[in-house]
Structure 1
Amino acid sequence: MATIDAIDTWIVDVPTIRPHVLSMTSISRQSMVIVRVRCADGVSGLGEGTTIGGLAYGDESPESIKLTIDTYFAPLLVGADSAMPAALMTRLRQNVVGNHFAKNAVETALFDCVARRAGVPLSDLLGGRQHDRLPVLWTLASGDTAKDIAEAEAMIAARRHNVFKLKIGKRPLADDVAHAGAIKRALGAGASVRVDVNQAWDEQTARKGARMLGDAGIDLIEQPLPRADRAGMARLAASAPIAIMADEALRGTHDAFDLAAIRAGDAFSIKAAQAGGLIAAAKVAAIAEAAHIGLYGGTMLEGSVGTAAAAHLCSTFATLAWGTELFGPLLQTEEILATPLEYTDFALTVPKGPGLGIELDEDKVRHFRRDAPQRTVVMLNQAAR
C-alpha cells in the first residue's frame, strides 16, 4: 500500500507582468499554494490552490487554503492509501464543509500520484484526452484602451492569442462599451472579443449593456449579475442578443443543475477550483453538455501546476464551444516549472508525460516561497509601511 507520508504546502508569490484589473480588485502578483503529497513508495504528486485577489474575489485565500490543508486535511490523509483518491476526497467532504479551492489542490496532487505511479497522463484517469491542444484566449485588463489594443495586436502578430476578454464593470456602462467597442473595431473580424463583468451589474444595466455590446460586435458577457441572482441570469440569457456565461455562480454540481434547469446561461465556465475538484468539474461539464450549454475552460489565474491540471481536464471534453482561458502562467514574470508549458499557434499543448507531465524548478519555488527568509523580511517591511 502506497501510504501518504506527508503533505507539504507553500505559498508562492510571483509578480505579474502588469496590473490585472477586475471590477472588485487589482492584482500585481499572483499568490499560489503549491501542494506536494509524498508517499511511502517514493512517488509524489503536485497540486495548486490559487484565488484571484484573495478574499476580495471569494471566500478562500492563499492563507486560508494553506491553513485548511495543514490543519484539517493532513490529519485525515496522512497514513491513508494514496491509490484511492475518490475515497479520500469523500472523507474530506464528510469532515470539512466547503473549501473547494483547498480540496481541488489536494485532489489534483492525489491524482498526480496515481497517474505517475501508473506511468500515464492524468487525463487518462479522467476518461482519456480528446484533444492534444486547446485554444487559449488572453485577458486584456489594463483598462487603458490604447494599451489594450497594442497588447492584443502584439499577441495576434506573435500567433499567441486571437481571442480576447476584457475586464469591465468598474466604470460607467457607456465608458465600458466604448472601451470594448474600440478594441473590437481595431482588431476587426479576425479576432473575437468578450467581456467579463465579475458580477458588477444589476439586471437593468445588464439588459442595456447586452444590447450595446452586441451592437459593438462583442460575442459574450461573462457573469454580469451577482452569483445569487439566478432568475435574473435566466431572464438575461433568454433576451440578450449575445451569449451569457455563468462563472462565479458555478460552485459545484448543485449550482450547475439549478442553472441548467432554468437556462441561466448559454455557456458554463468550468473551473476545478470552484467546483471542488477535477471530478466535480467534470460532472459540472456533463450537466452543461446534457443541457446543450457550451463549455469554456475557465481559470483562477492559476500558475503552471493548476493550469496543467485544468488542461488535462479540458482535453477530455468532446467540444469546447468557447475555448479556454488557461493563460495564467503567461501573466507571471517568472516560471516555476523546469520546462514551461508550451503556448504556440493560439493554443496550449496538453502535457504528455506521466501525471501532470510537469516538474517544478525547485530553485525558483524556493526563491518565491513566502516563508523563505529573505522573502519574509521583505513582506514584513511592506506590511509595516
Structure 2
Amino acid sequence: MAKLAHIDSFIVDLPTIRPHILAMATMHAQSMVLLRLTDSDGIEGIGEGTTIGGLSYGEESPEGIKLAIDTYITPLLQGQDLSRVGAVMARIGKHVAGNHIAKCAVETALLDMQGKRLGVPVSELIGGGRRREAFPVAWTLASGDTARDIEEAEAMLEARRHAIFKLKIGKRSVKADVAHVAAIKRALGDRASVRVDVNQGWSEAQADRGMALLQDAGVDLVEQPIAKLNVAAMARLSAKHVIPLMADEALHGPLEAFDIAARAGARIYAVKIAQSGGLLPAHAVGMIADAAGIGLYGGTMLEGTVGTAASAHVFATFPDLEWGTELFGPLLLTDDIVTRPLIYADFQLQVPTAPGIGVAFDEDKLAAFRRDATKTQHGSAALQGA
C-alpha cells in the first residue's frame, strides 16, 4: 500500500514573452501552482494547477488553489492507497466541492506517480492508451496590433512551429475586431487556419453579427462568444451559422458536456484538464463529445510544461482530434521549470514517452521562481506514521 509520505505545494511566477491580451485581462506573467507528492515507497509525482489572470477568468485563483490543496485535500490523502487513483479522487470529490483546478493538480501528481510505479506513460493509463504520438498546436495572437500579429504569425510559419492561429478578441467593437481578424486572414490566406476566441465578450446580438462577418472573412471557428451559462443562446447561434461555435468556459466536466451536447449548444468542445477537474474527467468529456458527434480540440489554461504534458497525454487518447490543440503554454513563458522542455517541431507537439507525465522539475529553476520566501518550508508537509 503506497501511502503519502510528503507533500509540497508552491506557486511560481514566470514572465510572459509579451503581453497576452484577453477580453477580461492582460497577462504579463503566469502564476502556476505546482505540487510534489512522495509516497511511502519513495516514488514522486508532480502536478500543476493553473488559471488565467488571477480571478478574472474563473472562480479559482493561484492562492486559492494552493489553499484548497494544503488545507482541505491534503488531509484526505493521508492514510490512502495512492496507487488507487480513481478511489482517491472519488474520496476528494465527496468532501471537496468544485475546486476543479486544485483537484486536477492532485490527480496529475497521482497519475504521474502511478505511471512511474508501473513504468509506463500516463497516456497508457487512460482510455485504452494513446492513439497518436504528436498533434498540431495552435498559437494565440494576442497583442491586439494587426501588423504585429501578422509578423508574429509569419515567423511561426517560417519556423514550422504553428499553422493554426487563434486571435483573442472581444475588447473592441465587433466591427473593429472583425476588421482586425479579417486583415490577418487575408495576409495568411490558405497557409494557416485562423480562429477567434471571444472569451464570453459578446452579447447574443453581437455574436450573431460577428459570427456572420467572421464566416465571410474565412475564419474557421468562434470560441465561446457569449456567457458560459447561456447555453440556450449558444444553441441558437450554433443552429443559425455555418461557422462552428466552440464551447470552452461553458465546459466544467462531464455533466456540462452532456448538457451542452443534449441541447446542441456547440459543435466543438475545447477540452481542458483543469476546467474538467482532472485528466480522467477530461477524458470523459472527450468521450461524451465523440459519442454526440461533436468535434474535439485540446484546450489550455496556459499551463506550464507540467500541465501541458499532462494535457498532451489525455489528448493523445482521443479517438479523433479534428481541430488540433492549443498546448502552447510553455512557449509563452520566458523560462521553464523542467529539466527537459517539450518538443515542438513540424507544426506539432510530441507527446512525452517517459514513465508518468514524462517531465521532471529543474530544482534550480524552482528555487529561482518560487514565490514563497522560505522556498522549502511554506506549504510543505512531511507526514509521520501515515
Structure 1 Cα separation of the partners of residues 246 and 291 of structure 2: 16
2:100 corresponds to which letter in structure 1? H
Structure 1 Cα separation of the partners of residues 204 and 280 of structure 2: 33
- The residue that corresponds to 2:197 in the other structure is 196
- Indicate conservation of the 8 Å contact 2:290/2:319, yes or no: no
- The residue that corresponds to 2:61 in the other structure is 61
Shift of 1:372: 3.5
Structure 2 Cα separation of the partners of residues 279 and 2 of structure 1: 20
1:42 corresponds to which letter in structure 2? G
- Indicate conservation of the 8 Å contact 2:337/2:366, yes or no: yes
Q: Structure 2: any 5+ residue segments left out of the alignment?
A: 376-386
- Within 5 A, what are the aligned runs for 1:1-385? 1-126=1-126, 127-372=128-373
Structure 2 Cα separation of the partners of residues 238 and 229 of structure 1: 15
- Indicate conservation of the 8 Å contact 1:7/1:78, yes or no: no
Q: Structure 1: any 5+ residue segments left out of the alignment?
A: 375-385
Task: Say which SS state the counterpart of residue 153 (structure 2) adopts.
Answer: helix
1:200 corresponds to which letter in structure 2? G
User: What is the number of equivalent residue pairs in this alignment?
Assistant: 374
1:273 corresponds to which letter in structure 2? A
Task: Say which SS state the counterpart of residue 106 (structure 1) adopts.
Answer: helix
- Indicate conservation of the 8 Å contact 2:160/2:347, yes or no: yes
Task: Say which SS state the counterpart of residue 13 (structure 1) adopts.
Answer: strand
Task: Say which SS state the counterpart of residue 114 (structure 2) adopts.
Answer: helix
2:162 corresponds to which letter in structure 1? H
2:109 corresponds to which letter in structure 1? A
- Indicate conservation of the 8 Å contact 2:10/2:35, yes or no: yes
2:259 corresponds to which letter in structure 1? D
Deviations 1:143-182 (A, max 9, x none): 0000000000000000000100000000001100000000
Shift of 1:134: 1.2
Deviations 1:77-133 (A, max 9, x none): 023211111111111111111000000100010011111010000001002110000
Deviations 1:293-315 (A, max 9, x none): 00000000000000000000000
- Indicate conservation of the 8 Å contact 1:237/1:263, yes or no: yes
- Indicate conservation of the 8 Å contact 1:366/1:372, yes or no: no
Structure 2 Cα separation of the partners of residues 158 and 256 of structure 1: 36
- Indicate conservation of the 8 Å contact 2:251/2:275, yes or no: yes
* CA-atom RMSD in angstroms: 0.9
Shift of 1:50: 0.2
Structure 2 Cα separation of the partners of residues 10 and 28 of structure 1: 20
Structure 2 Cα separation of the partners of residues 170 and 361 of structure 1: 38
- Indicate conservation of the 8 Å contact 1:14/1:368, yes or no: yes
Shift of 1:241: 2.4
1:152 corresponds to which letter in structure 2? A
- The residue that corresponds to 2:381 in the other structure is none
TM-score (norm 2): 0.96
- Indicate conservation of the 8 Å contact 2:271/2:296, yes or no: yes
1:10 corresponds to which letter in structure 2? F
Question: Which aligned runs of 4 or more in structure 1 are off by greater than 4 angstroms?
Answer: none
Structure 2 Cα separation of the partners of residues 363 and 304 of structure 1: 16
Task: Say which SS state the counterpart of residue 357 (structure 2) adopts.
Answer: coil
Task: Say which SS state the counterpart of residue 117 (structure 1) adopts.
Answer: helix
2:342 corresponds to which letter in structure 1? L
Structure 2 Cα separation of the partners of residues 318 and 96 of structure 1: 31
Shift of 1:254: 1.0
Aligned-residue identity in percent: 59
Deviations 1:174-203 (A, max 9, x none): 100000000000011111000000001111
Deviations 1:175-234 (A, max 9, x none): 000000000000111110000000011111101001100111111000001001000000
Structure 1 Cα separation of the partners of residues 338 and 132 of structure 2: 23
Task: Say which SS state the counterpart of residue 55 (structure 1) adopts.
Answer: coil
